[in-house]
């Protein structure tokens, strides 16, 4: 069975957590597409012209996904987050990542992909499309609570500013901007627990799956 769930949304909106929970519930394969951009940002952080990155270099960088080394690299820090957002504006980088994402989506057994342009560009024919968002102060607090046990020099204000900057970059870029697909369901998680958000998406997917049987 092929069944694609596209989850797009703002940074720290909970889309990754929801995506993983949903994939786990239905036994679907899960891909966090943000990590692809983070890997490219990490590998090419000192390059000034991203348009020179070849498809071979992109594919070779993605081998990190399968490597044990990935655990030793901090791909989630604020510098890489911003670099990933900046590098993702580049047409060459985006195009070189498309096949990988589409092949993943197209595999048997159901897939969940989360990102910014899954429902609009990567998988415009996805069976279910969700756009997750939450009020930015709430997102900043969530990120702060998530990172404070592992980071000492963390400031809520800096996190807020980073999220704000990244949202603006992702929303306003020319190519594949972060926008809800016309047929996406908007899920505002500002006042929802993870459990409530997960249940809402599970119920949408279950209804869709029932129709297919």
- Determine which helix (DSSP H) or strand (DSSP E) holds 8, and give its type and residue range: strand 4-9
Closer CB to ligand DC, residue 17 or residue 33? 33
Question: In Å, what is the CA distance from 65 to each residue of 8, 49, 58, 73, 94?
Answer: 21, 24, 12, 11, 18
Contact 131, 184 (CB under 8 A): yes
Closer CB to ligand DC, residue 11 or residue 187? 11
What is the nearest approach in angstroms of ligand DC to the Cβ of residue 93? 9
C-alpha dihedral sign at 85, 89, 93, 96 = positive
What is the nearest approach in angstroms of ligand DC to the Cβ of residue 213? 30
Site string for ligand DC, 155-194 (x = CB under 6 A): -----------x---x------------------------
3-class secondary structure, 170: helix
CA dist., res. 146 & res. 59, Å (int): 31
C-alpha dihedral sign at 61, 62, 67, 72 = positive
**Position among 4, 11, 159, 163 found at the interface with ligand DC (CB under 6 A):** 11
What is the nearest approach in angstroms of ligand DC to the Cβ of residue 89? 8
Residue numbers 50-89 binding ligand DC by CB under 6 A: 81, 84-85, 88
Closer CB to ligand DC, residue 129 or residue 166? 166
3-class secondary structure, 156: helix
What is the nearest approach in angstroms of ligand DC to the Cβ of residue 39? 10
CA dist., res. 128 & res. 48, Å (int): 38
Confirm or reject binding of residue 33 to ligand DC (CB under 6 A): yes
What is the nearest approach in angstroms of ligand DC to the Cβ of residue 127? 18
What is the nearest approach in angstroms of ligand DC to the Cβ of residue 81? 6
Residue numbers 98-127 binding ligand DC by CB under 6 A: 115-118
């Amino acid at each position: 069975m092929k069944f694609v769930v596209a989850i797009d949304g703002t940074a720290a909106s909970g889309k990754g957590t929801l995506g993983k929970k949903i994939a786990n519930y239905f036994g679907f394969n899960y891909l966090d597409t943000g990590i692809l951009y983070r890997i490219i940002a990490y590998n090419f952080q000192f390059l000034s012209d991203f348009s020179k990155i070849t498809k071979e270099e992109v594919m070779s960088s993605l081998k990190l996904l399968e490597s044990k080394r990935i655990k030793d690299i901090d791909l989630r820090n604020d510098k890489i987050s911003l670099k990933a957002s900046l590098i993702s504006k580049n047409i060459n980088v985006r195009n070189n990542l498309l096949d990988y994402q589409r092949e993943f989506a197209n595999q048997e057994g159901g897939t969940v992909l989360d990102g910014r342009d899954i429902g609009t560009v990567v998988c415009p024919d996805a069976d279910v499309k969700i756009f997750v968002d939450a009020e930015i102060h709430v997102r900043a607090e969530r990120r702060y609570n998530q990172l404070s046990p592992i980071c000492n020099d963390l400031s809520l204000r800096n996190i807020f500013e980073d999220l704000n900057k990244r949202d603006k970059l992702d929303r306003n870029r020319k190519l594949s901007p972060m926008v809800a697909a016309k047929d996406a369901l908007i899920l505002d998680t500002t006042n929802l627990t993870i459990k409530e958000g997960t249940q809402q998406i599970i119920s949408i997917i279950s209804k869709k799956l029932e129709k297919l049987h």
